[in-house]
Amino acid sequence: MRALLLPPAVEVRRRLPRLLFGLVLCGLGIAAMVAADLGLGPWDVLHQGISRLSGIPIGTVGILVGIVVLLGWLPLSERLGLGTILNVVVIGVVIDLTLLWLDTPEPLWGRIGLLAVGPPLFAIGSGFYIGAGLGPGPRDGLMTGLAKRGLPVGAVRMGLELTVLALGWLLGGTAGVGTAYFALAIGPMVHLALPPLTLPEPPIPTDAAVSAR
């Protein structure tokens, strides 16, 4: 794992609000799926399984797992970004705070409604935080770091997500229709959200451009 990568201060100020807004949306989306109790995304099935065994809130478990995943970056020479660190902390905090007041609805239609909005919120949030360009999330960085070792990205992603899903399910996490919904929908949703939410790179100043010639 290489040193923290920080863009110029003016770029951080421009990008940080979008990054934080995106991470909050991601946390809200996951919390909605937890409250729906109809199945979670693979990593959150793992977090929920550990949470149920340990009694630690699911968002806090996500933070702890994120730290462990970052340790997995050490042999991969991946570079931390500000967004990487904030991803670990902010999403977990938002999940725990949201679940303090958001309970599982009694009627099934209420649970379906929460499930329906969870992945779109997560996808839009991903568009904001990825589009901010301040560093990948810890799990994405692990995937890309392994892919750089010559492994196909799709195979790495599938292998990681199937592994954590199976482990989480064995630990008592909820896998169900929400898991399938998340797995099938999140890729296309992020694909649609990312282009309009990606911040363009700042223009090169004229003086700098001239001196670079």
Paired strand residues for 69: none
Q: Containing H/E element for 11?
A: helix 9-36
In angstroms, the Cα distances linking 198 to 17, 68, 70, 85, 144 are: 13, 28, 24, 19, 19
Quote the pLDDT of residue 105. 95
Tokens standing for residue 96: 């725990």
Per-residue pLDDT averaged across 69-92, rounded? 86
On whether residue 210 sits in a domain, the answer given is no
On whether residue 3 sits in a domain, the answer given is no
Which range marks the domain in which residue 185 is found? Answer: 12-196
Distance CA 22, CA 90 (A): 10
Give percent above pLDDT 90 in the chain: 61
Quote the pLDDT of residue 176. 95
Per-residue pLDDT averaged across 153-162, rounded? 84
Quote the pLDDT of residue 1. 55
Q: Containing H/E element for 191?
A: helix 177-197
On whether residue 71 sits in a domain, the answer given is yes
- How many domains, in total, are found in the chain? 1
20-66 residue pLDDT tens: 999 999 999 999 999 999 999 999 999 999 999 999 999 999 999 99
Interior angle at CA 46, CA 157 and CA 84, nearest 5:
60
On whether residue 189 sits in a domain, the answer given is yes
Contact 46, 165 (CB under 8 A): yes
Q: How confident is the model at residue 213 (pLDDT cuts 50, 70, 90)?
A: very low
Q: Containing H/E element for 124?
A: helix 108-131
Sign of CA dihedral 90, 9, 135, 85: negative
Note the pTM of the prediction, 2 decimals.
0.88
Under DSSP, the state recorded for 159 is H
93-119 residue pLDDT tens: 999 999 999 999 999 999 999 999 999
Return the residue matching tokens 């991470």: 23
Distance CA 130, CA 58 (A): 23
On whether residue 17 sits in a domain, the answer given is yes
Distance CA 26, CA 120 (A): 9
54-74 residue pLDDT tens: 999 999 999 999 999 988 877
On whether residue 28 sits in a domain, the answer given is yes
Quote the pLDDT of residue 7. 66
Q: How confident is the model at residue 86 (pLDDT cuts 50, 70, 90)?
A: very high
On whether residue 212 sits in a domain, the answer given is no
On whether residue 2 sits in a domain, the answer given is no
